[in-house]
Amino acid sequence: MVAILSITAALAAVVLPNIVSATGLDQAAVAKGLLYFGTATDNPELTDIPYLTQLNNTADFGQITPGNSQKWDTTEPSQGTFSFTKGDVIADLAEQNGQYLRCHTLVWYNQLPSWVTSGTWTNATLIAALQNHITNVVKHYKGRCLHWDVVNEALNDDGTYRTNIFYTTIGEAYIPIAFAAAAAADPDAKLFYNDYNLEYGGNKAASARAIVQLVQKAGVKIDGVGLQAHFSVGTVPSKSSLVSVLQGFTALGVEVAYTEADVRIQLPTTATTLAQQAKDFQALVQSCVETTGCVGFTIWDWTDKYSWVPSTFSGYGAALPWDENLVKKPAYDGLLAGMGVTVTATATATATATSTATTGAATSTGTGATAAHYGQCGGGSWTGPTVCASPWTCTYVNDWYSQCL
pLDDT of residue 310: 98
Integer CA distances (angstroms), 399 to 2, 233, 266, 379, in order: 37, 15, 19, 6
The answer to whether residues 177 and 231 belong to one domain is yes
What pLDDT score does 366 carry? Answer: 35
Reference 241, options 225, 223, 227; nearest CA is 227
Count of helix runs (H) and strand runs (E) in the chain: 15, 13
**φ/ψ of residue 192, rounded to 5:** -120, 145
CA angle 334, 336, 340 (to 5 degrees): 110
Q: Are strands 255-266 and 230-232 parallel, antiparallel or unpaired?
A: parallel
**How far is residue 368 from each of residues 136, 153, 385, 390, 394, measured CA to CA in Å?**
49, 31, 7, 15, 15
Rounded CA gap, 288 and 249, in Å? 12
Residues contacting 398, CB < 8 A, separation 6+ = 200, 201, 202, 379
Does residue 104 sit within a domain? yes
User: Which residue among 45, 255, 260, 324 is the active-site one?
Assistant: 260
**Same-domain check for residues 379 and 302:** no
Residue of 153, 172, 255, 290 with catalytic role:
153
Rg of the chain, C-alpha, whole Å: 21
My answer on whether 139 and 218 are in the same domain is yes
Per-residue pLDDT of the chain (405 residues; tens, 9 = 90+): 333 333 333 333 333 334 445 699 999 999 999 999 999 999 999 999 999 999 999 999 999 999 999 999 999 999 999 999 999 999 999 999 999 999 999 999 999 999 999 999 999 999 999 999 999 999 999 999 999 999 999 999 999 999 999 999 999 999 999 999 999 999 999 999 999 999 999 999 999 999 999 999 999 999 999 999 999 999 999 999 999 999 999 999 999 999 999 999 999 999 999 999 999 999 999 999 999 999 999 999 999 999 999 999 999 999 999 999 999 999 999 999 999 998 875 323 433 433 333 334 333 333 357 777 666 777 765 677 788 877 767 877 655 567 666
Tell me if 358 is assigned to some domain.
no
**Domain final residue, candidates 339, 365, 396:** 339
Burial class (CB in 10 A: 0-12, 13-18, 19+), 23: middle
- Same domain? 221 vs 174: yes
The confidence score (pLDDT) of residue 393 equals 78
Strand 190-195 relative to strand 224-227, pairing: parallel
Instruction: Say if 345 falls within a structural domain.
Output: no
DSSP 45: G
Q: How many CB atoms lie within 10 A of CB 344?
A: 11
Residue 59 confidence (pLDDT):
98
| Pair (163, 63) in one structural domain | yes
1 HSE (CA, 13 A, CB side): 0
Of 315, 339, 363, which marks where a domain is finished? 339
What are the Cα distances from residue 347, in Å, to 15, 18, 280, 296, 329? 6, 6, 22, 31, 13
Answer for the pair 374, 403: CB distance below 8 angstroms, yes or no. yes
Please indicate, yes or no, whether residues 334 and 383 belong to a single structural domain of this protein. Answer: no
**Catalytic residue at 290?**
no
Tell whether 382 and 335 lie within a shared domain.
no
DSSP reduced 3-state for 401:
strand
Identity of the amino acid at 66? P
pLDDT value of position 349: 40
pLDDT (0 to 100) of residue 13? 33
Pair (322, 393) in one structural domain: no
Q: Note if 172 is an active site residue.
A: no
pTM for this model (two decimals): 0.83
Task: Give how many domains the chain has, as a whole number.
Answer: 2
Of 339, 367, 387, the residue at which a domain comes to its end is 339
Check residue 98 and give its pLDDT. Answer: 98
Contact in structure between 159 and 207 (CB atoms under 8 Å): yes
Q: Is position 264 within any domain?
A: yes
Eight-state DSSP code of residue 400: T
Helical residues (DSSP H) of 118-173, grouped into ranges: 123-140, 165-170
Q: Backbone dihedral region of 175: left (phi > 0), alpha (psi from -120 to 50 degrees) or beta?
A: alpha
Range of the domain at 388: 375-404
**Are 335 and 379 within one domain?**
no
Cα 326–chain centre separation: 19
- At residue 363's C-alpha, the angle toward residues 47 and 281, to 5°, is 70
Quick check: is 370 in a domain? Answer: no
Quote helix, strand, coil % in the chain, to nearest 5.
Answer: 40, 20, 40
Picking from 307, 294, 214, the residue whose alpha carbon sits closest to that of residue 261 is 307
CATH label of the domain that carries residue 334: 3.20.20.80
